[in-house]
Structure 1
Amino acid sequence: MAKSSSQAKKATASGWIGSALEYYDFFIYAQAAALIFPQIFFPSMDPKMAIIASLATYGVGYLARPIGAFVLGHWGDTRGRKNVLLLCMFLMGLSTMAVGLLPTYHDIGIAAPLILVLLRLVQGFAVAGEISGASSMIMEHAPFGRRGYYASYTLQGVQAGQVMAAAVFLPLAYFMPSDMFNDWGWRIPFLLSAFVLVAGFIIRKEVHETPAFVQEEQKDAVAKSPISEAFRYSWKHMVLVMFMALMNVIPVVATVFGAAYAVQPAYGVGFDKSVYLWIPVIGNIVAVLVIPFVGNLSDKIGRRPTMIAGCLGSGLLAFVYLYAISIHNVPMAVAASIVMWGLVYQGYNAVFPSFYPELFQTRYRVSAMAIAQNIGTMLTAMLPALFAAVAPPGSDNIPMVVGGIAFFITCICALAAYLAPETHRLAMEDLGKADAKPMGKDAYEASRQDSLRTVSH
């Protein structure tokens, strides 16, 4: 028991740190796309079109994610969770450093935004296997009745990475003259990825493979084609995960469109960049504190109730957040961000790392989750550009238009969560089975210890 508990904690720490480091890389791009890229990579365009083009390059990263999910999901189910997480980290770190070294439009013309799009595609490919791999690794180590709690640390790491992504820009935007920041200061967060890559490799290479996957290897039961098995046996659950993953609309509203709406001169709101950057920082700090409590709550009352409440509540609060920006009310915008994103959204965000992998069997768990989740997030990829197109600078009632679209999407997510089966009390070997029945703690632990003894032999 003590050994399995130690392994669960070690896997959780590795998942947390790895996700934080990898999503730091992914989200510094989001910050730069909203704050600086329109001026340095699309300066020849009308300011309104430059904002749309820059936000579209952010979305391009999501377009590559389904492709990455197929490749990296297969790798995780056939080569192991640890191996796929190391591969994801190297691809992400190298592509992020390359963005920091990329010449601007003034230096090489149209080649600059084209290369930028290519590097964003590599980022999207790399991140596609991170959450599914890390969530599966942590969940497969977790003890009975605690999978929601332990797996929630995957997303706590993601939120911490977003805190670092926003926070690293704060001193640069605040202390640097604008010309200096536009010239070379924005590159610093991207080049810091060199340290991210080294630190992540050191941590992840020490992680052991999960008992569930090792047991599959020892029984020579590792799937040869996990993707085809996933579609054959669990396509209905994959469709539900795809719709639930549309909840990515809330971070899009909070950090990407919200940032452009607040700081880009064309919108006329006029929030200072250094002031606005505090909104995602504070919201994510609150999320980091809240996530383990919500994950633990889902172990007690189930995954679906917390998911549904998080979807509907944060969707409604999107109206309030955007309205606060529209009336130039910084304190209200910060408060709305904390409640919408830092608190209510975590009903979804803290729970899906356990809920999604619990819907699938070990043989194809990483593939099924990665493919379904990343198709869903891909569908939200162009939302920043869509929001900017349907509610461009000078439009009337931007909060109602963008907020209405966001709330409609979150209602779809809530319905998908309602239609999914409850999984929080299923035994590991019964996860993903349509006829699985909940079991008690004693029976679960006996089954789990038998599995661990089999692996150790």
Structure 2
Amino acid sequence: MQQEKQQQEKQQEQQASPIGKIAFAGAIGTTIEWYDFFLYGTAAGIVFDKLFFPKFDSLVGTLIAFATFAIGFVARPLGGIVFGHFGDRVGRKTALVTTMFIMGAGTCLIGVLPTYESIGVWAPVLLVLLRILQGIGIGGEWGGAVLMSVEHAPEGRKGYYGSWPQIGVPAGLMLGTGVFALLSSVLDSEQFLTWGWRIAFLLSAVLVLIGLYIRLQVYETPAFRSVRDQHTRARIPLVELLRTSKVNLLLGMGTRMAEGIAFNTWGVFAIAYTTTELHVPRTHALIGVMAAAAVCVPMIPLWGALGDRFGLLRTFGLGAALFGASAVPAFALFDTGSVLVIGGTLVVTLGLFYGAMYGPQAALYADLFPANVRYSGVSCVYQVSGVVASGCTPLILTALLSAGGGSPWLMVVYIVAMSALSLLCVVLIALRRRRHAPAAASERESHAPVAEVPAQQ
């Protein structure tokens, strides 16, 4: 009777939550979360250095503002560990709803935060604390969002459906920069710095309510229900993850370097670089990034589908290679100072090339770990490596730019080196899978879960 009841429950949930609806819910939810998170990155380069760190010169103020941007990424592993445990023990859906509350609260409070002029040193202190709250929220959110799509998706389509929550990154960036561009165009500089920028942060309250409503309509994933029903949940998922999947964890983090650096180079640092060093008007820089992000949105599921067709690792590796190869021509074109040339360069690098890594990424990382520690696994790969790959990228590039006397070529060396590191990790993952192929065949013959095989050491 109990088995019949569970089977009936699964059938009802599958009927109520078709994969298309789940993928759409993932895309909307992550768009809202990443709007909140990257809004800070946009503001760091054009607002926070002036309002919260005004005692420094322009370059130092920008460096400090980007340092607080990086703090959010430092907090993300904590969110990944905490909600990874929660997601592997209690469920993906519950973790997702909780992280959205946390994220929305942090963003809205930044929107009402007094500036340095009003409360002195407490302004940057509170800004950092709220950035940490944002980091914890997004650190726990990403793993659950992608697993809701990947674990519901049919075999042979996991790359495509897993790419839908990934749309949230460029869509959130597009929405955030779009709001800032609109506010910059309708307000003068004094109005924008005095109160206009706050509108973008307070808008998060409305978006979070929409996201919560959508996510509450989706059921738990079949993979987690199977782990729960078969009583195979890990008692402490992080400990089990480190015991069984250390190599996959490290290699996954290595692949993440090129992807994280690529997005934060073209989507975040480029705004500050073009406005501060090349003196491109702020609104034009924001529109250029927004246009690139708009192109990236449909490209991500396209690259995800290509990953299903040609292989997730091959597609991801191609994206890492394109990122490294495009660095020299991209910065050479930036230095022309032409608004149209810079915008076109961003459309190619961020809009077209970046999705080759980000589209297949969710399914690629999910395949590295067994279901009972998968939330913790994908969260650690994405969030721990993200401290350097994503959070520190604007700070590192700004420091390299300063060390190079304003020349971008030290930054280019860094980008090419990290691209090569990611390519090496892709190759090592492929070699490990070949070595485990006989074990996978043996597991299939004995009807054991094939998904466990890649995680064996």
Corresponding residue for residue 451 of structure 1: none
Contact kept? 1:302, 1:423, Cα under 8 Å? no
1:325 positional shift: 2.5
Paired residues in the alignment total: 434
Unaligned runs of 5+ in 1: 427-431, 449-457
Is 1:253 matched with 2:265? yes
Which of residues 335, 339, 344 is equivalent to 2:348?
Answer: 339
1:327 positional shift: 2.4
Contact kept? 2:404, 2:410, Cα under 8 Å? no
Question: Deviations for 1:405-430, whole angstroms, at most 9, x for unmatched residues?
Answer: 11211111111112114999x9xxxx
Corresponding residue for residue 378 of structure 2: 369
The one-letter code matched in structure 2 to 1:114 is V
2: CA distance, partners of 1:151 / 1:437: 25
Is 1:352 matched with 2:352? no
Corresponding residue for residue 276 of structure 1: 285
Corresponding residue for residue 123 of structure 2: 112
Q: 1:316 to 1:153 in 2, by over 3 A?
A: same
The one-letter code matched in structure 2 to 1:106 is E
Deviates more, 1:229-238 or 1:156-165: 156-165
Q: 1:434 to 1:26 in 2, by over 3 A?
A: farther
Contact kept? 1:28, 1:166, Cα under 8 Å? yes
Is 1:168 matched with 2:172? no
Corresponding residue for residue 42 of structure 2: 31
Corresponding residue for residue 435 of structure 1: 439
Which of residues 112, 127, 137 is equivalent to 2:138?
Answer: 127
Q: 1:130 to 1:43 in 2, by over 3 A?
A: same
1:136 positional shift: 1.1
Q: 1:176 to 1:142 in 2, by over 3 A?
A: same
Corresponding residue for residue 10 of structure 1: 21
Question: Deviations for 1:4-59, whole angstroms, at most 9, x for unmatched residues?
Answer: 58522222121111111110100111110011111111111122210110111111
Listed as ranges, the matches of 1:48-87 within 5 Å are 48-87=59-98
Contact kept? 2:271, 2:289, Cα under 8 Å? no
1:278 positional shift: 1.1
2: CA distance, partners of 1:375 / 1:318: 25
1: CA distance, partners of 2:156 / 2:14: 14
Corresponding residue for residue 207 of structure 2: 196
2: CA distance, partners of 1:255 / 1:345: 10
2: CA distance, partners of 1:203 / 1:434: 43
4+ long deviations beyond 6 Å: none
2: CA distance, partners of 1:274 / 1:207: 38
Is 1:379 matched with 2:391? no
1: CA distance, partners of 2:397 / 2:410: 8
SS at match of 2:313: helix
1: CA distance, partners of 2:265 / 2:183: 24
The one-letter code matched in structure 1 to 2:30 is S
2: CA distance, partners of 1:338 / 1:271: 17
Contact kept? 1:302, 1:422, Cα under 8 Å? no
Question: Deviations for 1:389-417, whole angstroms, at most 9, x for unmatched residues?
Answer: 2212981422x111221121111111111
1: CA distance, partners of 2:352 / 2:20: 25
SS at match of 2:18: helix
Listed as ranges, the matches of 1:388-427 within 5 Å are 388-392=398-402, 395-398=405-408, 400-421=409-430
Unaligned runs of 5+ in 2: 1-10, 450-457
Is 1:232 matched with 2:236? no
The CA RMSD over aligned residues, in Å, is 2.5
Q: 1:393 to 1:227 in 2, by over 3 A?
A: closer
Contact kept? 1:245, 1:373, Cα under 8 Å? yes
1:207 positional shift: 1.1
2: CA distance, partners of 1:80 / 1:378: 26
Which of residues 102, 119, 125 is equivalent to 2:113?
Answer: 102
Corresponding residue for residue 326 of structure 1: 335
Question: Deviations for 1:268-326, whole angstroms, at most 9, x for unmatched residues?
Answer: x1111111001221111111111111111111111111111100102222333322232
Which of residues 284, 296, 302 is equivalent to 1:293?
Answer: 302
